[in-house]
Amino acid sequence: MTGSSASPLIVWFRDDLRLSDHPALHDAAQSGAPLVCLYVLDEEGSPQHGRPIGSASRWWLAQSLRSLQGSLTARGQSLTLRRGRPARVIADLAQEIRASAVHWNESDIPGEAATEREVTTALDRIGVASRSFPSDLLVRPEKLRNKEGRGLRVFTPFWKRVLSLGDPPQPLPAPKALTAGPKIATDDLASWNLEPTRPDWASGLRETWTPGEAAAQKRLKDFLDNDIASYASLRDRPDRDATSRLSPHLRFGEISPRQVWHSASFAAAGKPAISSSVAKFLSELGWREFSRHLLFDHPQLAERNLQSSFDAFPWHSDPKALRAWQRGQTGYPIVDAGMRELWHTGIMHNRVRMVVASFLVKHLLIDWRDGEKWFWDTLVDADPGSNPASWQWVAGSGADAAPYFRVFNPILQGEKFDPDGAYVSKWVPELARLPAKLIHQPWEATPMELAAAGVTLGKTYPEPIVDHKTARARALAAYAKTRD
């Protein structure tokens, strides 16, 4: 089977599609044993194991697996692809190659943790060792408990606790050499149909992104070299390229939170003037961490209100309005720009995410779960913790939530954070010729101004589907009913 007399080891890759700071791979490589690097596609998504990833994430996964395959090939390795329930697939492969152990990085996502337990049980039955390593978070959820033994539900004290623990462990280097294991059958990645074909709607994703570990590390370096100084002041501006755009790379583990933490901290140590921006940047990493800890304590985060008072909220079923929101046809330019950016690129600026989410939940009174599902399918960074936690935050039903009566005014949000209208002009080009003072409220333009800009409301661009003042009053009245 192999030139080495040692029994092979299996390294099971999951949402950690990288070679550096990969504790399971690092430990396996140090043994000198022949390795089989394995990725298992589990599409069943049963309730106890979480849901299948969305369409945009499937596209990203395909690119990331190709990138990982290239990195392994450069080290004389290959990536074995198998499909099915991990416990069965991994146990079968372990028997097939007479593996002595299976290494993997642990996940604190409840469904993934359940899968790990299944894998361990299946391997125990056949006498194969399991070796798992913490990797995905800065701090394990069990280490951050309150006096009652529960997780923290307010971000600021949570993040203070994380910071009080000091730096996380230093990231591990990528193995310089990997001993090839036996040649075994592997699925053809194309047969998994992760990428769209008819129709191929992924052209915007291809234009926008380069998935993979090398691209993730380059993105982090470029951000810390060029953009971090202005991050604190410009991070809310969707018209500026001022954010790191690392979220999908983190989602698929092409870069680890520890790598981001230490690189940013090193940059701040060398340039004290950027320390406040670095602190703000790391707190955004903290929100990812906070959301994952919430998910650990509340596995049904995407289905159930964290605050039970919202169980009685009078949501409206309005498929027509939901469709207008999804297509970026609400008549509110900042909302429509965000939704179109999402469809084309698989991502949306964080400030605009809050605006479009507030619009759906509060202007349209549509259940936050409908928005969460749409984001889950269309975001390349759809994270099982951050996505539902953020939707519940906006809805007012979650932990550390914005109060429900905080209703974002999409006109004022546009004027404040896209003052020149550049963001709207890019994603809603039919309004691009309107002056900046009108682009966020085209209905206030005179007939002559609309004609000069080539805009016909109701034809080239929709009238607002709701009136802001009326919708706000309706939302507050609905909220009051839940407080009675």
pLDDT bin (cut points 50, 70, 90) of residue 402 is low
DSSP-based three-state secondary structure for 20: coil
Alpha-carbon distance 127 to 130, whole Å? Answer: 10
Q: Residue 30's pLDDT is what?
A: 95
Amino acid identity, position 24? A
pLDDT bin (cut points 50, 70, 90) of residue 406 is confident
| pLDDT > 50? residue 3 | no
Claim to verify: residue 389 and residue 472 sit in the same structural domain: yes
**Pick from 238, 268, 297: which residue ends a domain?**
297
Claim to verify: residue 147 and residue 293 sit in the same structural domain: yes
Work out the average pLDDT over 385-397. Answer: 95
Question: Does 247 count as an annotated binding residue?
Answer: yes
**CATH label of the domain that carries residue 48:** 3.40.50.620
| pLDDT > 60? residue 1 | no
Is 184 inside any structural domain?
no
Claim to verify: residue 337 and residue 474 sit in the same structural domain: yes
Computed over every residue of the chain, the mean pLDDT equals: 94
Q: Residue 195's pLDDT is what?
A: 96
| pLDDT > 90? residue 300 | yes
CB 114 within 8 A of CB 124: no
CB 195 within 8 A of CB 248: no
Is 399 inside any structural domain?
yes
**Pick from 297, 330, 350: which residue ends a domain?**
297
pLDDT tens digits, residue range 132-171? 998 889 999 999 998 888 899 899 999 999 999 999 999 9
Q: Residue 4's pLDDT is what?
A: 46
Claim to verify: residue 112 and residue 155 sit in the same structural domain: no
Q: Residue 401's pLDDT is what?
A: 65
Domain count, the chain: 3
* Domain assignment of residue 128, given as a range: 9-135
**CATH label of the domain that carries residue 217:** 1.25.40.80
Q: Residue 6's pLDDT is what?
A: 83
Is 193 inside any structural domain?
no
Question: Does 225 count as an annotated binding residue?
Answer: no
Question: Does 383 count as an annotated binding residue?
Answer: yes
Q: Using CA atoms of 296, 299, 304, 305 in order, give the dihedral in degrees to the nearest 10.
A: -10
Q: Residue 472's pLDDT is what?
A: 95
Name the residue with tokens 């692809």.
Answer: 81
Work out the percent of the chain whose per-residue pLDDT is above 90: 88
Question: Does 321 count as an annotated binding residue?
Answer: no
Claim to verify: residue 443 and residue 477 sit in the same structural domain: yes
Q: Residue 43's pLDDT is what?
A: 82
DSSP-based three-state secondary structure for 214: helix
pLDDT tens digits, residue range 311-321? 999 999 999 99
Q: Residue 5's pLDDT is what?
A: 56
**Pick from 84, 110, 135: which residue ends a domain?**
135
Question: Does 246 count as an annotated binding residue?
Answer: yes
Question: Does 245 count as an annotated binding residue?
Answer: yes
pLDDT tens digits, residue range 408-464? 999 999 999 999 999 999 999 999 999 999 999 999 999 999 999 999 999 999 999
pLDDT tens digits, residue range 33-90? 999 999 999 987 544 456 889 999 999 999 999 999 999 999 999 999 999 999 999 9
**CATH label of the domain that carries residue 411:** 1.10.579.10
Name the residue with tokens 């966020």.
Answer: 440
Q: Closest Cα partner for 41 from 5, 1, 95, 84?
A: 84
Claim to verify: residue 288 and residue 148 sit in the same structural domain: yes
pTM to 2 decimals?
0.95
pLDDT tens digits, residue range 267-276? 999 999 999 9
Is 318 inside any structural domain?
yes
Is 323 inside any structural domain?
yes
Claim to verify: residue 440 and residue 465 sit in the same structural domain: yes
Claim to verify: residue 115 and residue 151 sit in the same structural domain: no
Paired tokens of 121: 């049980």
Is 174 inside any structural domain?
no
Claim to verify: residue 279 and residue 426 sit in the same structural domain: no
Is 447 inside any structural domain?
yes
Classify the C-alpha dihedral 322-328-329-334 as positive or negative. Answer: positive
pLDDT bin (cut points 50, 70, 90) of residue 399 is confident
| pLDDT > 70? residue 246 | yes
Claim to verify: residue 459 and residue 335 sit in the same structural domain: yes
pLDDT tens digits, residue range 327-371? 999 999 999 999 999 999 999 999 999 999 999 999 999 999 999
| pLDDT > 60? residue 2 | no
DSSP-based three-state secondary structure for 80: strand
Catalytic residues: 284, 287, 315, 350, 368, 391
Burial of 29 (0-12, 13-18, 19+ CB in 10 A): buried
Claim to verify: residue 17 and residue 91 sit in the same structural domain: yes
* One-character DSSP codes across 173-211: PPPS---B--------GGGG--S--SS---HHHHHH---
Alpha-carbon distance 224 to 387, whole Å? Answer: 25
Q: Closest Cα partner for 371 from 386, 356, 381, 383?
A: 356
Is 192 inside any structural domain?
no
Q: Residue 47's pLDDT is what?
A: 46
Name the residue with tokens 């109060």.
Answer: 403
**129 alpha carbon, distance to own chain's centre:** 32
Q: In what order do the strands lie in the sheet with 101-105?
A: 79-83, 35-41, 9-13, 101-105, 129-133
Claim to verify: residue 231 and residue 279 sit in the same structural domain: yes
